[in-house]
Structure 1
Amino acid sequence: MTLNELAILLAALALAAPLARFFGIAAVLGYLVAGVLLGPYGVGRLFSEHDAQQVLHFAEFGVVLLLFLIGLELRPKRLWAMRQAVFGIGTLQVAITSLALAFVGILFFGTQWQPSLFAGAALALSSTAFALQVLEENNELSTRHGRLGFSVLLFQDLAAIPLIALTPYFAVTAAKSAPVIDYFAFAKGLGTIVLVVVVGRYVLDAFLRLVALSRVKEAMTAAALLTVVGVTLIMEAVGLSASLGAFIAGALLAESSYRHELEADIGPFEGLLLGIFFTAIGMSLNLGLLLAEPGLIISLTLALIVVKATILFLLGRWQGLEAGPSRRLAFALSQGGEFAFVLLSVGQAAGVLGSKPSQILAVVITLSMAMTPVLLLLDRRLSAKAKAPTRPFDTLPDNDGHVVIAGFGRFGQITARVLRAKGIPFTALDISVEQVDFVRRFGNKAFFGDASRPEVLEAAQMDKARAFVLAIDDVEASMRAAEYVKKQYPHVPIYARARDRMHAYRLLDLGVAAMRRETFLASLDLTRSLMLGLGYSERVASRIVKTFRDHDERRLNEDYKLSSDVEKLLERARTSQAMLEKLFREDEAEEAKLAHAEKGPREGKTSRDAKAKADTIDP
């Protein structure tokens, strides 16, 4: 690749993601479109097919770095806890999808079962890079369906090893010959995994410790990259998944004291190389073949997505996921993967598949990848439109002298528990069907209803309520409820949860004085514990926290008058910090005086006691 081509590629990376975000689509899709435009079959044709393959081969290291960073986040104990999901649902997904896709090949294309099963197994593997990237972009990697998806992807990486080793079986069986399987290569692969585990457990952390002692930052960065590159070379040397090796190495370093340093050093490289990888996938899309046989390729792409998504959806439901999360899981993993390209190449070399079928399936895999962010985007938008309740609001009980709690999440539930223990009646409302059904299983009395709607508040008999606890998470819904209660039920006091400072200002606008910022008191309590841990006395720690609380609450009320003037707020923020530092210095001086005053009487008493003792024993 020339320097000009490198500049063009970097320019595409710099523009693709921001433009994609501007148009409201996933960054991955932006990279794909940029790759198609720059590739040998696109409008620009700035990169040849050979260049595209070179870029793709180089950028695959981004997938390796991604798996290494994910491994750093997963401690061995957590991995062991995931074993049931990895080997349970992962095995079912690969097995059922392989058989279903093989059946499609035999039924509709009349191919023999051996190449059909091989192609089905290859297509059953999803793209680790695509799936994890789109889940991470949408903040879904930590959700239950995100963790389930990761478990399936991890098993797929494991499954790729025996599939590559067993490829000759499909070829020779199709030729009516005795199967020849390289059992030595299979054993060598397993031995290599064991080697990576042993070295990672006993050598890597010691190596990083030696490098860290030099206190040279670039040396630590080089050591981090060397760790991943070294594992990649070892795994590739025996024909195994470099991504799997990197993941194992990352997991073994998850307990290391250098974990955060490794994440910081490798993160920028991982993001850049993944962007290049997705762009290279777009470059590799053979538009000529797509235009030559559009019906066949589009039909195969749809069949792949429908079969995989259906199986994943059913498995998600079987695991107890709701319909929405199961659908997200299905769409996130519905595409073909990068290991499918490897298997198709190996299968073509072994005579399992012909050249043209391999090329067609490669285009199908690329198109299915491109469809993943589109499907997730459509699902997200359709889900937002369908967010209106699908079942009627619950019938609310008759109450008198009760408390109405709007929002029954982590904040509202604490208030409810106290009221319940004191025997004070309350009516708790929440807009989430899942949340209401969930808390009811634990014996909580909650009702499905939107507390920002007037008819729901009327049904909750607000006119008879003693108080209104506003704990709705959504700021706009919270303000609608507060405005309506203030206007229609001015005699009912409002006790509100403010999400942040700006939400607090809006509540103050309505005259809601009994208001608490949701994390403020918890943060102060934690800060007090921190001060104690740093060696301050109980009295000093409490005084520090009290000084800050008084100062911040005073500032909140003073800043409220300037809440519409951003420039003045910024100026006050600077002067407020200086004022807080001055208050702390004054507190320190006062504390020193108190300590000195207390020390004097104690010293006097000690000297008097010593003298009395001496008088007692003096002959």
Structure 2
Amino acid sequence: MEILWILIAFICGLLAVQVSLPPLVGFLAAGFVLNLIGVEENDLLRQLADVGITLLLFTIGLKLRLADLVKTEVWAGGLVHISLWCVVVVSSLLLAGFLSAPLVGDLSPLGTSLVAFALGFSSTVCVVKLLEDSGELRTRHGKLALSILVVQDIVAVVFLAIAAGETPSVYAPLLILLIFTAPLLKSLLNRAGHDEMLPLAGFLLALGGYQLFELCGVKGDLGALVIGMMLSGHSKANELSKSLLSFKDIFLIAFFLSIGLAALPTLETFAIAVVILGLLVLKFMIFIGVFAILRLRARTIFLSALALTNYSEFGLIVAYISNQAGWLSSQWLMIIAVASAMSFVVTSTLYPRAHSLYQQHKEKLKEWETKRHLPEDIFDWPREVEILVIGLGRVGRGAFSALYERVGSRAWGMDAKAELVMRLQASGMHVFTGDGENADLWEAVDTEQIKLVLLALPSIKDAASILKQLRAAGFQGAIAGIARYEDDRQALLEAGVDHVFNFFTEAGVGFAEDSLALVKSQSRASGSMAR
């Protein structure tokens, strides 16, 4: 029977990809297909789904920076939005129930609240995929959207912990001592290397955190999130997240299949799902209003709101848990599942056009801006910049130091990481904080004085995104970049970079020339000794 799950999931996922939809839309459809042909959910599928959810929370924790979450626009934006959404949707459902709308009138007050709550989340899987594909994970709006998602996920995890209905044991307060194990966990990650031991370490840490919290009477998913957060600042956190990506996605397929196996949508439930899909307009407008009140810039407001305007796999998890607890009927689980799948289609269709949509409505959207911007959105640009190095990792710092020795204060470095910039400034380097992927930054500065930009970034997508923003702002100077592989080099050249330094090829040439010089010097020394 397991091969049938895989076959149907593959076929439906492949069909979804062919029409430019997220594969998870196909996986939800696969669950319905399996249900239709008489396949029933079993313990194996439930266990695989649980592992998928645990890995999802662990990888979210790996990307979580507390410094981002404590920003007012993040925690207030996430909490205020979901609160307003729940008030409006609960009111709408109660009104529909009073008017005897099909199925809505059967909802209990608790069920009504749970439906609104489940629909309040945005899809981590869908949003991350869209931002990755567009190279916008590190942009101002991308980081804001991801941080809002984490706030929503924390709210969901708290709900899951409460929904478990378990009283924490007397040992639960001791979990706070986990903070002192962070050095040990990071040392374990260092020793795991880079190959198959790294994802295995990830499984150990995620499932170990899950089991530890379960033993203390606390929802295990919260343990996976906490352990991930403890490792979020580690140098290998991003590598670990990438190594677990395929495993997480595979296990989550079981979760989406289990949703479809719970029940089949009827014409009536499908019609209600379409009506709920229309509420996305309301969700978008609430995001716009909340972000505007929190003094964000118009571009950030629009792009973040558009990315977050969908329903969530976490909402499905909330609905699924509520259904298992007997608080929500299988029909409403199906309605939320169908509405979520359709919302993924809407977002996947609209977001690739987000920047052109913003340009079309830019003047109206600017009216939502307040006169006072957040400190992060005020750009302090040095006046004498002629050569700019973007990205101050090891390569970027090396390039900047070499340029500074030759041209002095005309060379400046820029990086989006404020903590790194502060350290480099303390050592006397001419650097400043700035996000090259933020189009508002380039619109706010005069790029005519800049003659050369060096894109010293490890991500080709990030470099291509900055290049696009520079050209859109009218930059006419020269642009150089770095690449590790030949296909990356070609991609940057095709994107419009004037010169690309290939790490391996050009470093290899330099290594060979230095080695030959060593041979020549030894030959001269031998000849001298012979004489």
TM-score, length of structure 1 as denominator length:
0.55
1:145 equivalent in structure 2: 141
Q: Deviations over 1:168-213 (max 9, x none)?
A: 9xxxxxxxxxxxxx8x836869637525544x4255345567x75x
Consecutive unaligned residues of structure 1, counting only runs of 5 or more, are 169-181, 393-409, 422-431, 447-471, 482-493, 508-514, 528-544, 550-576, 601-619
**Aligned partner of residue 185 in structure 1, secondary structure:** coil
> Conserved in 2, the CA contact under 8 Å of 1:128 and 1:337?
yes
1:317 equivalent in structure 2: 292
Find the aligned partners of 1:216 and 1:389 in 2 and give their Cα distance. Answer: 46
Deviation, 1:273, is 2.0
1:50 equivalent in structure 2: 41
> Conserved in 1, the CA contact under 8 Å of 2:93 and 2:112?
yes
Does the alignment pair 1:249 with 2:227? yes
Structure ranking higher on relative contact order (CA contacts 8 Å, 6+ apart): 2
Find the aligned partners of 1:165 and 1:506 in 2 and give their Cα distance. Answer: 50
**What number of residue pairs does the alignment pair up?**
432
Q: Deviations over 1:70-125 (max 9, x none)?
A: 43344xxx424422355322221222222122211222223775553344334323
Deviation, 1:261, is 6.9
Structure 1 residues 131 and 55: CA distance shift in structure 2, 3 A: farther
2:281 equivalent in structure 1: 306
Find the aligned partners of 1:592 and 1:24 in 2 and give their Cα distance. Answer: 61
Does the alignment pair 1:79 with 2:78? no
1:296 equivalent in structure 2: 272
> Conserved in 2, the CA contact under 8 Å of 1:102 and 1:120?
yes
Matches of residues 168-207 of structure 1 in structure 2 within 5 Å? 185=167, 191=173, 194=176, 196-198=178-180, 200-201=181-182, 203-205=184-186
Structure 1 residues 125 and 216: CA distance shift in structure 2, 3 A: closer
2:22 equivalent in structure 1: 26
**Aligned partner of residue 208 in structure 2, secondary structure:** helix
Does the alignment pair 1:93 with 2:81? yes
2:518 equivalent in structure 1: 588
Find the aligned partners of 2:6 and 2:126 in 1 and give their Cα distance. Answer: 25
> Conserved in 1, the CA contact under 8 Å of 2:306 and 2:351?
no
> Conserved in 1, the CA contact under 8 Å of 2:169 and 2:217?
no
Matches of residues 228-307 of structure 1 in structure 2 within 5 Å? 228-236=206-214, 240-256=218-234, 259=237, 262-263=240-241, 265-281=243-259, 283-284=260-261, 286-287=263-264, 289-303=265-279, 305-307=280-282
Find the aligned partners of 2:325 and 2:492 in 1 and give their Cα distance. Answer: 68
Find the aligned partners of 2:439 and 2:204 in 1 and give their Cα distance. Answer: 50
Find the aligned partners of 2:240 and 2:134 in 1 and give their Cα distance. Answer: 24
> Conserved in 1, the CA contact under 8 Å of 2:270 and 2:335?
no
Find the aligned partners of 1:92 and 1:387 in 2 and give their Cα distance. Answer: 24
Find the aligned partners of 1:115 and 1:16 in 2 and give their Cα distance. Answer: 31
> Conserved in 2, the CA contact under 8 Å of 1:221 and 1:262?
yes
1:608 equivalent in structure 2: none
Q: 1:66 aligns with which of 56, 65, 69?
A: 56
Does the alignment pair 1:160 with 2:156? yes
**Aligned partner of residue 39 in structure 1, secondary structure:** helix
Matches of residues 427-506 of structure 1 in structure 2 within 5 Å? 434=440, 437-439=443-445, 473=467, 497=479
1:564 equivalent in structure 2: none
Deviation, 1:40, is 0.8
2:3 equivalent in structure 1: 4
Higher CA-based Rg: 1
1:370 equivalent in structure 2: 341
Deviation, 1:249, is 0.8
Deviation, 1:20, is 4.0
1:179 equivalent in structure 2: none
Find the aligned partners of 1:65 and 1:331 in 2 and give their Cα distance. Answer: 27
Find the aligned partners of 2:492 and 2:132 in 1 and give their Cα distance. Answer: 31
Q: 1:40 aligns with which of 29, 35, 40?
A: 35
Find the aligned partners of 1:137 and 1:113 in 2 and give their Cα distance. Answer: 41
> Conserved in 2, the CA contact under 8 Å of 1:89 and 1:315?
yes
2:426 equivalent in structure 1: none
2:102 equivalent in structure 1: none
Structure 1 residues 239 and 359: CA distance shift in structure 2, 3 A: farther
Find the aligned partners of 1:518 and 1:378 in 2 and give their Cα distance. Answer: 34
Given residue 147 of structure 1, which amino acid in structure 2 is its aligned partner? Answer: K
Matches of residues 359-438 of structure 1 in structure 2 within 5 Å? 359-383=330-354, 386=357, 415=386, 434=440, 437-438=443-444
Given residue 72 of structure 1, which amino acid in structure 2 is its aligned partner? Answer: L
Q: Deviations over 1:283-337 (max 9, x none)?
A: 34744x432444333223433x333332223233344555555444334444444
Q: Percent identity?
A: 22
Given residue 194 of structure 1, which amino acid in structure 2 is its aligned partner? Answer: I
1:116 equivalent in structure 2: 112
Q: 1:106 aligns with which of 81, 94, 97?
A: 94
> Conserved in 2, the CA contact under 8 Å of 1:160 and 1:241?
no
> Conserved in 1, the CA contact under 8 Å of 2:130 and 2:348?
no
Given residue 90 of structure 1, which amino acid in structure 2 is its aligned partner? Answer: G
Find the aligned partners of 1:92 and 1:20 in 2 and give their Cα distance. Answer: 34
1:427 equivalent in structure 2: none
Q: Deviations over 1:492-539 (max 9, x none)?
A: xx97557797699999xxxxxxx983443xx78xx9xxxxxxxxxxxx
Does the alignment pair 1:226 with 2:213? no
> Conserved in 2, the CA contact under 8 Å of 1:123 and 1:337?
yes
Find the aligned partners of 2:144 and 2:217 in 1 and give their Cα distance. Answer: 27
**Aligned partner of residue 149 in structure 1, secondary structure:** helix
Given residue 203 of structure 2, which amino acid in structure 1 is its aligned partner? Answer: L
Deviation, 1:362, is 1.3
Deviation, 1:366, is 1.0
Structure 1 residues 309 and 267: CA distance shift in structure 2, 3 A: same
Find the aligned partners of 1:302 and 1:104 in 2 and give their Cα distance. Answer: 13
1:173 equivalent in structure 2: none
Given residue 517 of structure 1, which amino acid in structure 2 is its aligned partner? Answer: D
1:329 equivalent in structure 2: 304
Structure 1 residues 155 and 28: CA distance shift in structure 2, 3 A: same
Find the aligned partners of 1:125 and 1:297 in 2 and give their Cα distance. Answer: 16
Structure 1 residues 201 and 220: CA distance shift in structure 2, 3 A: same
